[in-house]
Amino acid sequence: MSIFIDQQTRLVVQGITGRDGSFHARQMIAYGTTVVAGVTPGKGGQRFDDTVPVFDTVAEAVRETQANTAVIYVPAAVAASAIFEAADAGIPLIVCITEGIPVLDMTRVLPFVHERGARLIGPNCPGLISPGRSKVGIIPGNICRPGRVGVVSRSGTLTYEIIHQLSTQGWGQSTCIGIGGDPLIGTNFIQCLSGFQADAETDAIVMIGEIGGTDEQQAAEFVQQTVTKPVVGFIAGQTAPPGRRMGHAGAIISGSSGTAAEKMAAFARAGIAVMKRPADVVPLLRERM
């Protein structure tokens, strides 16, 4: 099994005719994802690569193709509008790859999406992949292999590194999810952990956090109270100085709660095996399985 996406995923790509949208649409199609439509206002009626129909609106795409998932590759200035449009069209899963969306925009987006019963992953994220089933976003399919380890991460590039460490040592993945590193995101650690806990084909979980905020501490408490499967964790930014933003907009230490040391201590208290470096992931999984 997998969480959030599978062989039944029918994907609409918002911004499919743009540079990033077209490149990654081809990658997703090559991986085997069922891309049923693209959306670019003003280009309705065209076909992307002579196969995928392009529509002016998401509502048209859903009506004609029964799309049930949207992925967004549009500039930050219009990304919030793209999320609004997808949610309003009844898309239940929306994945926003775009980075640089203003926090003020997200304060309007999140309640809108929630009111319509949709799930948003991102923004500023690499998306997700269920190896051998479906890929929505930019996670490279060639580093993944099907298996029984769930991966959830705030960091895009560290997601790839952890997946590579797992795959090269024979540990396949059930689903890999990049939730994004912005201060306001649609899907958090706890929601992903809950999904993995309920998934009969996920045997262990790898959680990759980073400095800033308290999401990792809350996730650790959830693991301690609810998760029965082995969890291995990593915190990026262990050498970051206080007050310095490291990579992501949300990765800034304010007080003691956002430090790597505090988050790693919270992991340890919750029984989460803590990696000191990404290469530790497989040895720690072996110890716990």
pLDDT digits (tens, 9 = 90+) for 88-110: 999 999 999 999 999 999 999 99
Indicate which residue of 24, 114, 164, 248 is catalytic: 248
Residue 248 is a catalytic residue: yes
Express as a percent the part of the chain with pLDDT over 90. Answer: 86
**Residue range 13-45, pLDDT digits in tens:** 999 999 999 999 999 999 999 999 999 999 999
pLDDT per position as a tens digit, 44-66: 999 999 999 999 999 999 999 99
Backbone angles phi and psi of 174, in degrees to 5: -80, -55
Q: 157 versus 52: which is more confidently predicted?
A: 52
Which 3-state string (H, E, C) describes the chain?
CCCCCCCCCEEEEECCCCHHHHHHHHHHHHHCCEEEEEECCCCCCCEECCCEEEECCHHHHHHHHCCCEEEECCCHHHHHHHHHHHHHCCCCEEEECCCCCCHHHHHHHHHHHHHCCCEEECCCCCEEEECCCEEEECCCHHHCCEEEEEEEECCHHHHHHHHHHHHHCCCCEEEEEECCCCCCCCCCHHHHHHHHHHCCCCCEEEEEEECCCCHHHHHHHHHHHHCCCCEEEEEECCCCCCCCCCCCCCCCCCCCCCCHHHHHHHHHHCCCEECCCHHHHHHHHHHHC
pLDDT tens digits along 203-255:
999 999 988 888 999 999 999 999 999 999 999 876 556 555 555 554 454 45
Query: pTM of whole model > 0.85?
Result: yes
Q: Is the pLDDT of residue 144 over 80?
A: yes
Question: Looking at per-residue confidence, does 239 or 185 come out higher?
Answer: 185
Tokens at 211, concatenated: 């400095």
Give me the residue label for tokens 């990696």: 275
Domains assigned to the chain: 10-121 (3.40.50.720), 139-288 (3.40.50.261)
How large a percentage of the chain has pLDDT more than 70?
93
pLDDT at 253: 47
